[in-house]
């Protein structure tokens, strides 16, 4: 059986970018394919500790899984939910893959360049983060990895590492699909990137300082409407989808499409050429607020106990598979 797999860090509660870029696509794919694919959903708690946290790691971790359930994830025997650090083979395999990946490759990763800024004080975890991510994927032979566009470079690196190991030691890893195929599988042309509402040149990020830049999934719907109404647009005076010239308006069109699960082309055709940006903002604010009100009502009903039970079951499954894969790699490296 093929595997669809994704992880999310829990440095804070989630933004609308995390939700639309990864959590919702994963939930939709899981519900569509969980009879024929393994679905692995994990909390990237080891990736979380590379940076400061806001709100408490354990609190955010429970919230993350609750958010999948509130988004409508249906759990059956093929859906596996686990915490990354509860699968110790992850750390062990990361070390081995550290001896495969190169400084040059990791130094070219955009996230490292942005987060580490080449400073001596940058922790080694930030530099090594893509190898840990490659391990998460290769441990479980992940084929499809629903992530936002910002993670595509890490998937390409994962492919390179897998191909290199297989070339040297025989067929050890499944090579995940190319990012162009990943995007298609998620139903997008080139991956999803939700923009910062104040500065739409940048992606919407948990770590943005300005409150109006990002929508948190726990924001109350009125606050969300205000943030969307004040989003930066442009002075061209005509709605169209053009990420270069009109990143703010294009972002709103994309949000409108994703929240309502409608094709982007269809939404763009509906608004193209219109001049009243306010009408579009009002419509997007209404779509997001309605979605969040329902989502938050469902979220409030999910208990911690429910989440712990799912994670403990998932971790038994994950450890079995991960230990077998690790042993295969250890044997290839003559460690066993």
Counting Cα atoms < 13 Å in the Cβ hemisphere of 271 gives 27
> Which secondary structure element, helix H or strand E, spans residue 154, and what is its range?
helix 152-169
Interaction of residue 147 with ligand TYM, rule CB under 6 A: yes
Identify whether 203 is a catalytic site residue: yes
Closest distance of CB 14 from ligand TYM, Å: 8
Report the alpha-carbon distance of residue 48 to residue 32 in Å, rounded.
Answer: 29
* Residue 252: both structure tokens together: 């709103």
Interaction of residue 291 with ligand TYM, rule CB under 6 A: no
- By CB under 6 A, name the one of 3, 18, 94, 251 that touches ligand TYM: 18
CA distances (Å), 164 to each of 134, 143, 169, 218, in order?
13, 17, 9, 42
What x/- string results for residues 42 through 81 when contact with ligand TYM is judged by CB under 6 A?
A: --x--x----------------------------------
> Which secondary structure element, helix H or strand E, spans residue 4, and what is its range?
strand 2-8
Report the alpha-carbon distance of residue 143 to residue 145 in Å, rounded.
Answer: 7
Q: Which stretch binds ligand TYM (CB under 6 A): 191-199, 215-223, 236-244, 319-327?
A: 191-199
CA distances (Å), 97 to each of 6, 191, 257, 320, in order?
19, 27, 39, 20
Closest distance of CB 274 from ligand TYM, Å: 25
What x/- string results for residues 97 through 136 when contact with ligand TYM is judged by CB under 6 A?
A: ------------------------------------x--x
Residues that bind ligand TYM (CB under 6 A): 5-9, 17-18, 21-22, 44, 47, 133, 136-137, 145, 147-148, 150-151, 192-194, 203-204
């Amino acid at each position: 059986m093929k595997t669809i797999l994704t992880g999310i860090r829990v440095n804070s509660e989630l933004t609308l970018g995390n939700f639309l870029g990864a959590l919702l696509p994963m939930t939709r794919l899981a519900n569509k394919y969980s009879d024929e694919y393994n679905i692995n959903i994990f909390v990237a708690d080891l990736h979380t500790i590379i940076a400061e946290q806001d709100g408490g790691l354990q609190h955010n971790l429970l919230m993350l899984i609750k958010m999948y359930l509130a988004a409508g994830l249906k759990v059956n025997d093929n859906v596996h939910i686990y915490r990354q650090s509860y699968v110790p083979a992850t750390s062990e395999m990361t070390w081995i893959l550290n001896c495969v990946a190169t400084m040059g490759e990791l130094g070219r990763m955009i996230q490292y360049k942005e987060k580490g800024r080449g400073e001596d004080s940058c922790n080694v975890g930030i530099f090594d983060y893509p190898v840990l991510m490659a391990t998460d994927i290769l441990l479980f032979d992940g084929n499809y990895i629903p992530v936002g566009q910002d993670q595509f470079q890490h998937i390409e690196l994962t492919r390179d590492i897998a191909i290199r190991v297989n070339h040297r030691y025989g067929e050890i890893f499944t090579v995940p699909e190319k990012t162009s195929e990943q995007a298609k599988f998620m139903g997008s042309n080139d991956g999803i990137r939700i923009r910062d509402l104040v500065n739409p040149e940048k992606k919407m990020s948990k770590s943005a300082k300005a409150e109006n830049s990002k929508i948190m999934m726990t924001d109350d719907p009125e606050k969300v409407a205000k943030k969307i109404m004040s989003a930066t647009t442009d002075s061209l005076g005509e709605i169209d989808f053009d990420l270069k010239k009109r990143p703010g308006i294009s972002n709103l069109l994309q949000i409108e499409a994703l929240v309502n699960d409608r094709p982007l082309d269809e939404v763009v055709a509906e608004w193209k050429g219109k001049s009243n940006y306010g009408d579009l903002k009002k419509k997007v604010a209404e779509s997001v607020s309605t979605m969040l009100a329902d989502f938050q009502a469902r979220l409030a009903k999910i208990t911690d106990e429910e989440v712990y039970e799912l994670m403990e079951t998932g971790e038994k499954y994950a450890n079995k598979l991960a230990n077998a894969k690790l042993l295969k790699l250890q044997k290839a490296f003559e460690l066993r």
